[in-house]
Homo-oligomer: A and B are copies of this chain.
Amino acid sequence: MKKSKSSVIRFLYAASESSADVFYLGGVFVPDPFLSMQVDGKSYAVVSRLEYGRVKAQSNYHEVYLLESVQAEAVKSLGLKGQFAGPAELMLFFAKKFKVRTAEVPADFPAVYYAALRDAGLKVQISEDSFFPQRAIKSDLEAAAIREGNAASAAGIRAAEQVLRASQIVGKRLKYDGAILTSERLRTIIDQACLGKGAIAQNTIVAGGVQATDPHEGGHGPLKPNELIIVDVFPRVQKTGYHGDMTRTFLKGNANDAQRALVAAVRESQLAAIRKIKAGVSGATVHAAAADVFTAKGYETKRVDDGFVGFIHSTGHGLGLEVHEEPRVSPKAGRLRKGHVVTVEPGLYYPEIGGCRIEDVVRVAKDGCELLSTCHYRWELK
């Protein structure tokens, strides 16, 4: 194996269940933190005997080491007589083995190992930006996996729609299948529909009325007729690790003029943003296009008492192995590149009218963008 003096060893130490970077490198889910690394374009992992067989068979690593064996080797190689080789010692061992003096680690690398490597004399660079910038550029296979995630989202949203359609209005409540329909109950039905598509939904939002004007409020208690209900579903497909992320806003009963105008403005804003998207255009420009629609229609964004009203979040975010990842579609965001996958989800929130958000997912192309999510936009359910 060629070794140039300028070689760098890139360390990751996390569970691939929770770290998208670790999963991206190895392509296999491991529930507990473990060491993986890159040297000279090759990738390696060190796993315990509980994981060894599975990781060796299913991962993309060039080589998989058995933790117990490497620990013994490290103790010998580093002269740690009678001591235990923990993660930092294993990293020092591999730096020595690969004859490398400089390490690179991601911004979220555990401080305890960073400090130990530095104290041991290794030069350690912290990657302030993305550790794998190519993660933001989605291949056709990744786009298909995100489509699959959105199919799960759509299954959840359609399940919610069917339940709302089948519900009866009884005074200020909705009744479904003999019992009062709550946010919690509808959320469970949505999440079960996602599971039916092989995807795990967490923190699904089913928020009606004033609750929906707090964008990260999940929603609780009985849903009411004649109120806007935001349904935001972002499940992760268990097999691939990729997410879907879609939002629709429904209303059961009869909408008033203010609600109709609000929903129409949000959809118009979404379309204006989507029309702007193509490679080379900045996320800031796309966000401005969405915001301009609201401004032109007189929807103000401002602080009111302890809260905020109007268009109070950014237009979108990257989507992939994480629900929120690079790039952003927000006031200061940089250029979109071909292959970026982003959500487009403008919204308006006013306690006296309600909240509305409509969200789809697109992949940026040379001359426009490709929709990776499909679900109709009918929202008034009689």
Contact = CB atoms under 8 A, between A and B. Distances in A.
A77 B54 CA distance: 53
Nearest to A234: B31
Given A50-B313, A203-B17, A312-B50, A128 B108 contact: no
Contacts of A203: 17, 29, 31, 238
A48 to B, nearest CB: 9
A126 B112 contact: yes
B54 A217 contact: yes
Contacts of A324: 31-32
A191 interface: yes
Given A50-B215, A54-B214, A108-B110, 8 more contacts: A17-B202, A50-B312, A53-B307, A56-B306, A109-B110, A115-B126, A188-B198, A202-B238
A99 B126 CA distance: 29
A115 B105 CA distance: 12
A109 B195 CA distance: 33
28 contacts: A30-B216, A31-B216, A31-B323, A31-B324, A49-B312, A50-B215, A52-B306, A53-B214, A54-B214, A54-B216, A54-B217, A105-B111, A107-B110, A107-B111, A108-B112, A109-B111, A110-B111, A111-B111, A111-B114, A111-B126, A112-B126, A112-B128, A114-B115, A184-B198, A188-B196, A192-B195, A192-B196, A200-B202
Interface string A191-225: 11001101010110000000000111100000000
Interface in A21-40: 29-32
Contacts of A191: 195, 200
A308 interface: yes
Contacts of A49: 308, 312
A108 to B, nearest CB: 5
A21 B174 CA distance: 39
A142 interface: no
Nearest to A56: B306
A56 B216 CA distance: 13
Q: Which 5 A-B pairs have the closest CB atoms?
A: A111-B114, A107-B112, A109-B111, A108-B110, A112-B126
A7 interface: no
Nearest to A116: B126
A18 interface: yes
A51 interface: yes
Interface residues of A, number: 49
A203 to B, nearest CB: 7
Contacts of A126: 111-112, 115
A52 B323 CA distance: 20
A323 to B, nearest CB: 7
A313 B52 CA distance: 13
Contacts of A196: 188, 192
Nearest to A307: B53
Contacts of A128: 112
A65 to B, nearest CB: 13
Nearest to A49: B308
A378 B49 CA distance: 30
Contacts of A195: 188, 191-192, 195
A225 to B, nearest CB: 25
Contacts of A215: 50
